[in-house]
Structure 1
Amino acid sequence: MSHIFKNNTFAVVDLETTGTSRSDNNHIIQFGCAIVKNMEVVKTYSFMINPHREIPLSVQNLTGISNDDVANEKDFSYYAPKIIEILKDTVFVAHNVEFDFPFLNYELMQHGYESLTNKAIDTVELTKIAFPTLPSYKLSDLTSRLKIKHLNPHKADSDAYGTAVLLIDDIKRLEQLPQATLNTLSSLSHGLVRDTSWIFTEIADTLRKTKRPLPKEYMQVRNIILQKQTHNVASNGEDHKFPIENTAKRKLFKGKINYRKAQVELIDHIHDFVMNPNERAMLVESPNGTGKTFSYLFSYAYQLYSSRKLVISTPTKVLQDQILTREIPQMLKITHLDLTAEVVKASSHYLDLDGFVQSLFQSSPNKPTLVLQMQILV
């Protein structure tokens, strides 16, 4: 893989500026750039630039760049030809490209140069789609979560390097997706910012020429690739017989939980009820802390090897969590049964796949919806 962009040079740019609004007498105070060739960072640049105005305190706090740092530096007119040369014939990349690209072009035009016409890619959208389950897409959060080392967050050279490694991670991740997913992403991607769609179409079109079988853990339904569901079937429970004798129960409990006579009586009552097909219902009342939950789990567990399931309904989420994280693991540890437990969610927790597929072919949605659709596909 990763030969898809072998003929492309990416210039990953990060600017530090005196403020976010271009027209408000705001200027670039640092230009950082990392050059990526063949999916490797091959060179970095960092220019400190004199903006000929005060740097607001909030910007100094964020970037660590003070007025003294830039007072003796050259101004933008000196660096403009160098920047143009560095970016010549490259694909422009930034984390939030709609800030860096127009800001740089504004500065260039203010100094009498033509604005850049490079392809421009946004790593915010790219990363949201490549890694759809991350909790945050702030650059500092991404670099720590994806273990990208860069030394000075909010310094342009360090942020450019971090973004360059992020771009490489994004592309490698997208290259691993099944072809049908790439095809759909490619067709949806035209609504993304600037030329970000170009990454998706290049990967999809290039990999379409190679024969890639669908990995066995996936299945294709129409043009959607789904993860196959794994069904855990309990193994044969021949060795797992309910311990009728109290001595057998004592042996199982030893060193794990206290042997309590009242609890064992409850376990036996429930076992008798489960084993008697003529019994329709049983009502149990016992005080808090007597181990009711463990008692019924223990009694029922031995009956689950005949493809039966036990459904437990709880009145509160707290009790549900307690059963799942504490009671069931304890019961399995004591009984040595190889059973599994799952939380059953209401239908509102699930995606209607038919509705989702239809939504992909409707008129172009707004930007957040488009990105969400692409995230769900991945």
Structure 2
Amino acid sequence: MNSKTTYAVVDIETTGTDMAVDNRIIQFSCALVSQGRIVDTYVSDINPQREVPERIVQLTGITPQRLETAPTFDQVSAKLYKLLSGTVFVAHNVNFDFPFLNREFQRVGYPELDIEAIDTVTLSQILLPTLSSYRLQDLSAYFNIVHDHPHTADSDALATAKLLLVLFRQIRSLPRRTLEQIITINPSLPQDTMKVFIQANDENRSQQLAEKLPVHLKLSSGLVLRKREPIFSDVRDKPTAAKFPKTRAAKSKILPDHLESRVEQNKMMNMIYNNYADPKHHQAKPLVIEAPTGIGKSLGYCLPFSYLASAHKPVVISTATTYLQFQLQQQTIPLLNQSLPFQVNSVILKGASHYIDLNKFRHLLFVADNSVQTAFIKAQILVWLTMTTTGDLDELHLNVEQTPFVWKIQHAGVKWLNPDSAFYDEDFLRYNLAKAQQADFIIVNHAYLLKNWQFFHDFPVKPYLLVDETQQFAETAIRSNQQRINPLAVISAVNRVRGDIQENHHGSAGCLCRQCAAKSTG
């Protein structure tokens, strides 16, 4: 972060990851970053003077024959020690590279490097909380960073250096209030990684006399939130000139070039549209369509319904999983909006527990907790709140069952909200339900539909209902309405109760006997 600091972004390849065993470095690479750019690189193979396991050869492509002519670590140690001294050490999983390298320096007679070290894995997890993977290879792909040879030190170090620059830009974009809150929470991060946030906040303070938020953010009762699109009561209908393309040729003209118009898909589109298009002259019938794999089913039903749907009569799409909801929202709908002569708006609805309750989160934000996990997740959520417009906790890709803090901040439902609470107007669940009243497509999952069908029954006009993955609907209905009992758990509970009763009974009997004995001797 500091313009005067040189960051040494390092990656090492080794004969193994266990430092308790006498593993050695087989390749060292370093990219030096200063003043926002990569200024120099260094790479060297290193002869480990021991056998390299075949799995390491397969992983890295570094063969024993190649290492035979490479220098040993003690031959390059002076150069490496000088290269790294006075820098800030950076690695993707710094708690491996930094201690391993220091152990090697000590082995050949050098003291440990007395420098700061930061980790790009945990920085990425906090600053980019909605990503599903933080492997270097996946992060590189996400940011279009060239990373041709994963698990080779030179490619890994260069990719990590470019990632570091991305993360620095990301942290500079955070509002001062968010940075200060992360610093107050003080999550436990590897080595000196927390200092990156402290330095960013110091820079922020020195450059601004007063806290100013970007136009897309707002401060609400102590939390920085992303502004959402307003929901208007007046709804515009589609242009009357927009006519459904009935032929394959007409469909090909509006669809992107990379999408081929398939015969079966075209039949499906026309069947759906013709069934509902003219209710005055043709009464719509319930349709059951079995579509073979690979015909483009999602687009096959979304395209005709785009011409049929409106905010006055939306389409409720129910699918099997929350992931399929995400696919429709993030892939199919945007594809339609790029192609159609009008825009289709959509909203995902899920059960209340999928959404964050801002009141609960704000209340618990600075409550002390001995859990390292809790402080880390709080930091992630603070950053996420500057990004999300839905408040859907699924965006964080957390394992909710193993994340107790999330249980404490899950929404309980609109009926439990206090209209006088600080975040009532900002509540994400209320916003999404209001947005559904104006949407063309309302995307739900089977479990939600079964539990909340009354919500759609109360619409002024009955919406279209499309049940995707219908074969799973009955199973979901059964699962949603059954209580499962584990017989072994019941037996265990009964035995515990029986044991408690017997223990208390014997204790009471013994006490009674002692009392009787005392009276008889008296």
Task: Name the TM-score class by shorter chain.
Answer: 0.7 to 0.9
Aligned to 1:351: 356
Aligned to 2:215: 216
Aligned to 1:15: 12
Q: Distance in 2 between matches of 1:152 and 1:259?
A: 48
Q: Please tell me whether the aligned partners of residues 146 and 159 of structure 2 are also in contact (alpha carbons under 8 angstroms).
A: yes
Matched, 1:363 2:376: no
Q: Distance in 2 between matches of 1:213 and 1:345?
A: 34
Q: Distance in 2 between matches of 1:371 and 1:352?
A: 18
User: Structure 1 length as normaliser, TM-score?
Assistant: 0.77
Q: State which of 27, 30, 50 in structure 1 corresponds to 2:27.
A: 30
Q: Please tell me whether the aligned partners of residues 32 and 46 of structure 1 are also in contact (alpha carbons under 8 angstroms).
A: yes
Aligned to 1:78: 75
Q: Distance in 2 between matches of 1:357 and 1:130?
A: 20
Q: 1:99 to 1:238 in 2, by over 3 A?
A: closer
SS at match of 2:78: helix
Q: Please tell me whether the aligned partners of residues 175 and 213 of structure 2 are also in contact (alpha carbons under 8 angstroms).
A: yes
Q: Distance in 2 between matches of 1:230 and 1:82?
A: 56
Q: State which of 169, 176, 180 in structure 1 corresponds to 2:173.
A: 176
Q: 1:38-70: per-residue Cα shift (whole Å, max 9, x none)?
A: 011111111211111000000001111111111
Q: How many residues align?
A: 340
Q: State which of 262, 266, 282 in structure 1 corresponds to 2:279.
A: 266
Q: Please tell me whether the aligned partners of residues 276 and 308 of structure 2 are also in contact (alpha carbons under 8 angstroms).
A: no
Q: Distance in 2 between matches of 1:295 and 1:113?
A: 71
Q: 1:298 to 1:88 in 2, by over 3 A?
A: closer
Q: Distance in 2 between matches of 1:22 and 1:117?
A: 20
Aligned to 2:48: 51
Q: Distance in 2 between matches of 1:20 and 1:142?
A: 22
Q: 1:194-227: per-residue Cα shift (whole Å, max 9, x none)?
A: 1000000000121023235212221112331111
The correspondence of residues 137-152 of structure 1 with structure 2, limited to 5 A, is: 137-152=134-149
What residue identity is the alignment partner of 1:357? R
| Deviates further, 209-218 or 178-187 | 209-218
Matched, 1:340 2:339: no
Q: 1:107 to 1:237 in 2, by over 3 A?
A: closer
Q: State which of 364, 368, 373 in structure 1 corresponds to 2:378.
A: 373
Q: Distance in 2 between matches of 1:354 and 1:116?
A: 46
Q: 1:365 to 1:217 in 2, by over 3 A?
A: farther
Q: Distance in 1 between matches of 2:160 and 2:274?
A: 64
Q: Please tell me whether the aligned partners of residues 267 and 295 of structure 1 are also in contact (alpha carbons under 8 angstroms).
A: no
What residue identity is the alignment partner of 1:370? A
| Deviates further, 94-103 or 138-147 | 138-147
Q: Distance in 2 between matches of 1:239 and 1:104?
A: 64
Q: CA deviation at 1:32?
A: 0.7
Aligned to 1:185: 182
Q: 1:294 to 1:94 in 2, by over 3 A?
A: closer
Q: 1:201 to 1:323 in 2, by over 3 A?
A: closer
Q: Distance in 1 between matches of 2:70 and 2:304?
A: 76
Q: Distance in 1 between matches of 2:102 and 2:274?
A: 81
What residue identity is the alignment partner of 2:178? T
User: Structure 2 length as normaliser, TM-score?
Assistant: 0.57
SS at match of 2:77: helix
Matched, 1:227 2:226: yes
Q: Please tell me whether the aligned partners of residues 191 and 364 of structure 1 are also in contact (alpha carbons under 8 angstroms).
A: no
Q: State which of 102, 110, 113 in structure 2 corresponds to 1:113.
A: 110
Q: CA deviation at 1:342?
A: 2.1
What residue identity is the alignment partner of 1:266? P
Q: State which of 191, 204, 211 in structure 1 corresponds to 2:201.
A: 204
Q: 1:235 to 1:15 in 2, by over 3 A?
A: same
Q: Percent identity?
A: 34
Q: CA deviation at 1:345?
A: 2.5
